[in-house]
Amino acid sequence: TTQEDWTRSDQYHNSFLLPPDETLDAVLKHSTDSGLPEIAVSAAQGKFLNLLASSIGAKRILEVGTLGGYSTIWLARALPADGELITLEYSEHHAKVAQENIDRAGLSSKVKIMVGLGHDSMLTLHPDPPFDLVFIDADKPSNVKYFTEAKRLVRTGGVIIVDNVVRYARVADPAHTSPNVEGVRALLHAIKGDKEVDATTIATVGDKGYDGFLYAIRK
Ligand code: SAM
pLDDT in tens, 79-109: 999 999 999 999 999 999 999 999 999 999 9
What is the predicted pLDDT for the residue at 133?
98
What is the predicted pLDDT for the residue at 203?
97
Task: Look up the CATH number of the domain holding residue 16.
Answer: 3.40.50.150
Continuous H helices in the chain: 3-17, 22-33, 43-55, 70-76, 92-104, 118-124, 143-153, 179-191
What is the predicted pLDDT for the residue at 25?
98
pTM of the model: 0.98
183 Cβ below 6 A of ligand 1: no
**Tens of pLDDT along 21-57?**
999 999 999 999 999 999 999 999 999 999 999 999 9
What would the mean pLDDT of 8-17 be, rounded to a whole number?
98
- 82 exposure class (CB count in 10 Å sphere: 0-12, 13-18, 19+): exposed
pLDDT band at 58 (very low <50, low <70, confident <90, very high): very high
What would the mean pLDDT of 111-117 be, rounded to a whole number?
98
pLDDT band at 127 (very low <50, low <70, confident <90, very high): very high
What is the predicted pLDDT for the residue at 123?
98
194 Cβ below 6 A of ligand 1: no
Torsion of CA 22, 24, 28, 33, to 10 degrees: 50
Q: How far is 200 from 214, CA to CA, in rounded Å?
A: 6
| DSSP class of 41 | P
Percent of the chain with pLDDT over 70: 100
Query: How far does the centroid of ligand 1 lie from the alpha carbon of residue 72, in Å?
Result: 11
For the chain, the first-to-last Cα distance in angstroms comes to: 39
Give me the number of domains the chain comprises: 1
What is the predicted pLDDT for the residue at 19?
97
What is the predicted pLDDT for the residue at 164?
97
What would the mean pLDDT of 150-166 be, rounded to a whole number?
98
Residue 98's identity, in one-letter code, is: A
What is the predicted pLDDT for the residue at 4?
97
The whole domain housing 105 covers: 3-218
- 104 exposure class (CB count in 10 Å sphere: 0-12, 13-18, 19+): middle
Element (DSSP H or E) covering residue 170: none
Residue length of the chain:
219
**Tens of pLDDT along 117-126?**
999 999 999 9
What is the predicted pLDDT for the residue at 7?
97
Residue 68's identity, in one-letter code, is: G
Query: How far does the centroid of ligand 1 lie from the alpha carbon of residue 68, in Å?
Result: 9
138 Cβ below 6 A of ligand 1: yes
117 Cβ below 6 A of ligand 1: yes
Q: How far is 188 from 172, CA to CA, in rounded Å?
A: 11
pLDDT band at 135 (very low <50, low <70, confident <90, very high): very high
94 Cβ below 6 A of ligand 1: yes
Q: Which of 27, 89, 107, 207 to mutate to test the pocket of ligand 1 (most atoms within 8 A of CB)?
A: 89
